[in-house]
Amino acid sequence: MGQEQVQTARQRRRLLLRVVLRVLASAALVIAVYYVLPMDLLAHLPLWLPLAVGLVLLAAWGAWEIRSITNSRTPTIRAIESLSEFVPVFLVLFAAGYYLMAQADPANFNVEGLTRTDSLYFTLTIFSTVGFGDITAASQVARITVMVQMVLNLVLIGAGVRLLTAAVHTGVARRQAESAPDDA
C-alpha cells in the first residue's frame, strides 16, 4: 500500500471533494481577478514588459510548485492542484496581453474593440489549437505574441507535464523511503 493512499473510501471522497472545490475556486478567482484588474494602469508600459514580467514570475512560481510537489505528503494530488492553478494563470496572462495590445492599437487584431472576453476566448482557441479564425492577429507584434504563446503552450504541455510527473515520482519515492523501516 503506497504512502499516498488514504485509508477509507470516505476519506478518499472527502479529499477528492476538497481538491475539486479548491481547483474550481482558484480558477474562478483567477478569472475574476482578470475581469476586475485595472489594466488601464499598464497602458503606459511597453506592450512586451507586462507579459515578460508575468512569464518570469510564472516560471519562478512553477519552480516553487515543483519543489512543493516533491515535498508533499500527497505528491500526485499536489501536482493536480498545481497544474489546475498554473494553467488558468498562464492563459489569463496571455489574455491580458492580447487585451492590452488591442487597447494600444486596434489594428493588432482583425476585430475592433476586443473585450476581455474576446481576449480570453482568443487565448483559449490558441491554447486548444482550434483557432476558429474569427479573431486573428493582424499585426506583426500580435503575430509574434501568438507564436510565443504557441511555443510556450507546447513547453507547458510537454516539459511541464514531464516535470510534474518527475516531481510526483520523486515525492512518492521520498515518502516511501521515509516510511520504510530502518535495517539498523
Percent of the residues in the chain that have a pLDDT greater than 70, as a whole number: 94
Report the alpha-carbon distance of residue 133 to residue 116 in Å, rounded. Answer: 18
Residue 64 scores a pLDDT above 50: yes
pLDDT at residue 155 in the model: 86
Q: Give residue-wise pLDDT tens across range 38-56.
A: 998 888 889 889 999 999 9
- Domain assignments of the chain as residue spans, ordered by start: 9-174
CB 69 within 8 A of CB 171: yes
Within a 10 A sphere around the Cβ of 29, how many other Cβ atoms? 12
pLDDT at residue 4 in the model: 46
CATH number of this structure's domain 9-174 = 1.10.287
Mean pLDDT of 5-33: 86
Residue 166 scores a pLDDT above 90: no
Q: Give residue-wise pLDDT tens across range 82-131.
A: 888 899 999 999 999 999 999 999 999 999 889 999 999 999 999 988 77
Mean pLDDT of 66-88: 87
pLDDT at residue 1 in the model: 41
How far is it between the farthest Cα atoms of the chain?
A: 73
Helices 140-155 and 75-104, packing angle to 10 deg = 180
